[in-house]
Chains A and B, each alone.
Chain A
């Protein structure tokens, strides 16, 4: 299996706070990998090192290396724009722009000028079909995206990533604002998308990790405690802390 994301001795500091400690991780292509662990253990921090969104925070420091598709992304030559085209991110709370549905989808195409206006319609249809929104929204493309239901908004946020053809989708608790029905729908969508994308999902919901992920990484206090196939980890955890977390002893 091809490795899409790889970290070597990755450390992350918020000022003097050591947020990630010696993380060594390899994420396989076309698989869903779940990051699990108790609140505050560094799941979001780790996810955000992969598209360098942590750069926006003042006074942070990274050591070690992160490779995306074999390329070190923490070098002076790294082009953040290209990195973020390659590595898309879905946030905890659906955050469509206060623009129309169409403008949301076409945002990345327009800023990166990846396609001429003549292709806009095709891109709209293709992206919305990929997240199963086309039928529902094809007559509402010029409505404000804020009028959609939360589930539709989150789907739109996923669709919005697709026109620039990313390889990796980072999802930070994408269902935590959704009801169980919508959550099931988004999980279904993830299974559909993994054919074409490498997906990393942060979740505090153990059942969700068990349902959707192929691999799981358990983080605890900034350290990667255990990493492996989800099935194995959930049936025979190697580390005592993993077992305690999975059985609900803490978290």
Chain B
């Protein structure tokens, strides 16, 4: 009996281990394939357009004659919207997580937690649509602008989209901090805020960084809402109250109209490569931050 049990146990262990290994390898292979595909389609562009001209050119006229493929306005558009959204979402999101995990109790906590989950599940097109109908006219009226389709509206909208992700993951991280840390701080005469700020927060910092990074990830990758709200003008904005166009929105808006294999088509893939590299860098930085902290 004992023998059989052990053998079966071993087999199970073996299978589970191999499955995990296989899924790890698969995900790496898939990412590699995606990159190879992107590279193959995108690098064709650099036969006709220089890398510097592509990255730093300020004119994106993909269908004029001659066409110009400068994506600097798009990069800046993405940066402005992303940074704006991050500045809005991170402080509010982290503060909400602290509130839910450390302050709210009983029923309020339950309601808020499930509310956040629901928010996180709303598809971005729906949010974009709601933003277009409510936020855009509001921004136009409040700031007295010719149009409400601006970088600011996009940042605000995306900030709200990133918030549920940040709140729920940061809240998990705070909850995972053992209660005995807080107890020790209070027993040393700390106030509740001192305990949260000086003890619980640092203990949860790697989880909070992860929450912020995933939030930013969602913002960078976001396409639909941004396309509907930011105005989509491929110009370098001088203030945040002007229309901008992002890298993702450009791909989404123009991919359907390109001829396969044309320069325009390759340029969109080259934009994909840029996005890929940016995302990779952000993950790398987050990873270093988390590991540095945990040393």
Contact = CB atoms under 8 A, between A and B. Distances in A.
B194 A95 contact: no
A98 B189 contact: no
Interface in A73-112: 80-85, 88-89, 91, 93, 95-99, 107-108, 110-112
Contacts of A81: 189, 191
Interface in A163-214: 164
B188 A91 contact: no
Tier of interface size on chain A:
20 to 34
Contacts of A82: 189
Contacts of B178: 95
Interface string B170-193: 000000011011011111111100
Contacts of A53: 183, 186-187
B203 A51 contact: no
Nearest to A58: B105
Tier of interface size on chain B:
10 to 19
B9 interface: no
B187 A107 contact: no
B180 A84 contact: no
Contacts of A84: 186-189
B189 A164 contact: yes
Contacts of A83: 189
Interface in B143-189: 177-178, 180-181, 183-189
Given A97-B199, A107-B198, A89 B187 contact: yes
Contact of A98 (B181, B186, B190): B181
B261 interface: no
Contacts of A224: none
A111 B184 contact: no
Contacts of A157: 184
Interface string A36-55: 00000000000000010100
Contacts of A85: 188-189
A160 B187 contact: no
A21 to B, nearest CB: 25
A4 interface: no
Contacts of B123: none
B202 interface: yes
A107 B184 CA distance: 11
B188 A111 contact: yes
Contact of A56 (B180, B186, B202): B186
A51 B190 contact: no
Interface string B194-215: 1000110011000000000000
Nearest to A170: B187
A51 B187 contact: yes
Nearest to A92: B180
A53 B188 CA distance: 10
B163 to A, nearest CB: 26
A111 B183 contact: no
Contacts of A161: 188
A125 B112 CA distance: 46
Contacts of B189: 80-85, 108, 111-112, 164
27 contacts: A51-B187, A53-B186, A56-B186, A81-B191, A83-B189, A84-B186, A84-B187, A85-B189, A89-B187, A91-B184, A95-B178, A95-B180, A95-B181, A95-B184, A96-B184, A97-B181, A97-B184, A97-B202, A99-B199, A107-B188, A107-B190, A108-B189, A110-B198, A111-B188, A144-B295, A164-B188, A164-B189
Given A51-B187, A56-B183, A82-B189, 5 more contacts: A56-B186, A98-B181, A98-B199, A107-B199, A164-B189
- By Cβ-Cβ distance, the 6 closest A-B pairs, closest first, are A84-B189, A98-B203, A95-B180, A89-B187, A81-B189, A95-B184
Interface of B: 177-178, 180-181, 183-191, 194, 198-199, 202-203, 295
